[in-house]
Chains A and B, each alone.
Chain A
Amino acid sequence: MMVALVVLGLIGIVMALGIRQIEVRLLRWRPEYQKR
């Protein structure tokens, strides 16, 4: 069970970070999110 929980935790972290990167990149084209 602990092995499954550790692997699930790692998958969750990797997926959340990946999607957050995609989200940041997708939002970048909007003027209010662009770096000045």
Chain B
Amino acid sequence: MKTRGRAGVWAWRIAILVAILVAWEYLTGIKAISRTPGLYWIDPFFVSRPSAIARRFVFLMSDNVRLPLWKMALSTVQSTLWGFLVGISTGFVAGLLLGRSDRAARVFDPFIVAFNSLPRIALVPLITMVFGFGLLAKIVLAWSIVFFIVFFNTFQGARSVDADLISSARFLGASEGQILRTVIVPSTLAWTFASLTPSISFALIGVVVGEFIGGESGGGLGYLIIQSLGTLNAGT
């Protein structure tokens, strides 16, 4: 019964996707009002059509271009994963340290709030100047976003560890290191794990924004988008 229900959901999803693609393919280029110039249901200049996109995809994947599409995608994925990994590890450590130390949390609070309030996109030129046009600048940008998501979650998690559990562990003779390892870190990790899914999406956003400006040498899908804008080749 459960399998049938799941198959039904998938069938609906595929049907909706096919309906969208078919409508997109056939409505593109058809004029909404026949005598009005340039008024289409879907303007081919801006959004192209699925068949043309598929042809362009095959061309960009081939060796006829300077940098094949798969290499660009690989560069984006690589930067995203590195930014994500470095962001979650540093965010977790910083959140745990500040979450367990009232004094450190009070001291660093204004700096963290100030840096987090800065729009990351404003930092792109500076980060590109400091770290160059390669992979590192994109990783740093992704890190600067992921770090704060993980940091705030871990910080909150470290603050909300059950005090009774810590007292019980201490009463049973556990050392501070053992309390950290067996009580605080496991309790905090649940909060950190909850921030992983939004973090990967934001890491990807950071990398693509970084590629808009600094993608020349390493490529990347953000660079491909900006290149298309430069040649007014928005459709395909």
Contact = CB atoms under 8 A, between A and B. Distances in A.
Interface of A: 1-8, 11-12, 15-16, 19-20, 22-23, 26-27, 30
A3 B233 CA distance: 11
Nearest to B186: A30
A29 B48 CA distance: 48
Given A7-B69, A12-B204, A23-B194, A1 B234 contact: yes
Contact of B204 (A1, A3, A15, A22): A15
B170 interface: no
Interface in B23-47: 47
A27 B222 CA distance: 34
Given A16-B197, A19-B197, A4 B80 contact: no
Contact of B221 (A7, A16, A23, A27): A7
A6 B204 CA distance: 14
B134 interface: no
A2 B228 CA distance: 9
Contacts of B200: 15-16, 19
B112 interface: no
Contacts of A27: 190, 193
Contact of B224 (A4, A15, A16, A22): A4
Nearest to B58: A3
Nearest to A8: B221
Interchain residue pairs A-B with the least CB separation, the first 5: A1-B228, A4-B224, A4-B221, A19-B200, A1-B234
Nearest to A18: B200
Contact of B225 (A4, A20, A22, A23): A4
B56 interface: yes
Interface in B202-231: 204, 208, 221-222, 224-225, 228-229
B74 to A, nearest CB: 10
Contacts of A23: 193-194, 196-197
Given A8-B221, A11-B77, A27-B190, A3 B196 contact: no
A2 B201 contact: no
A22 B225 CA distance: 30
